[in-house]
């Protein structure tokens, strides 16, 4: 199998698993907002423009979602000292708690599937997590590659 095929298979499988977990889980937070909470958690305090770029969506869409999350008490905005026109968005303790509930709900739907694996299945899942973590560490440590449009 060529590296490109393996890369495509890995990305598709990871995306399908993530979508399945989100669709199967029950939580009271809109999926778009859940995704943005996770993105801010992963990257730390961010400008709205950076959130939009990282989420591959428009700045007005992110602004609307951030306003909703701010009204729910999950994020706070403050002026960027480097540019008064820009806002910095960070998670609040309530936002961290909401994200923890989302992650717990997603894990709860996957737990029985993992528990039902026979033989070396659970060990292989542990190995897969370790490999994916290594891939993410290597990807974030290296220079960014080209950003294709598709």
Give the chain's domains with CATH numbers: 27-140 (1.10.10.10)
* Alpha-carbon dihedral sign for residues 127, 44, 19, 137: negative
- Does position 150 have pLDDT exceeding 90, yes or no? no
Question: What CA–CA distances, in Å, run from 36 to 46, 51, 98, 101?
Answer: 11, 8, 12, 15
Question: What CA–CA distances, in Å, run from 19 to 31, 56, 61, 73, 116?
Answer: 10, 17, 21, 26, 20
Tens of pLDDT, residues 32-75: 999 999 999 999 999 999 999 999 999 999 999 999 999 999 99
Mean pLDDT of 81-95: 92
Distance from C-alpha of 48 to C-alpha of 104, rounded to nearest angstrom: 27
pLDDT band, very low/low/confident/very high, at 4 (cuts 50, 70, 90):
confident
* Alpha-carbon dihedral sign for residues 41, 45, 47, 50: negative
């Amino acid at each position: 199998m060529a590296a490109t095929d393996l890369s495509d298979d890995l990305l598709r499988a990871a995306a399908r698993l993530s979508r399945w977990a989100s669709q199967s889980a029950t939580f009271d937070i809109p999926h778009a907002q859940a995704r943005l909470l996770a993105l801010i958690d992963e990257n730390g305090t961010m400008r709205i423009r950076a959130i939009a770029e990282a989420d591959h969506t428009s700045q007005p869409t992110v602004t609307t979602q951030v306003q909703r999350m701010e009204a729910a008490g999950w994020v706070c905005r403050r002026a960027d000292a480097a540019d008064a026109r820009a806002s910095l968005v960070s998670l609040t303790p309530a936002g961290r708690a909401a994200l923890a509930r989302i992650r717990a709900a997603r894990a709860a739907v996957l737990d029985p599937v993992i528990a039902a694996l026979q033989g070396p299945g659970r060990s292989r899942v542990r190995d897969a997590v370790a490999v994916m973590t290594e891939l993410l560490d290597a990807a974030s440590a290296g220079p960014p590659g080209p950003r294709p449009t598709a």
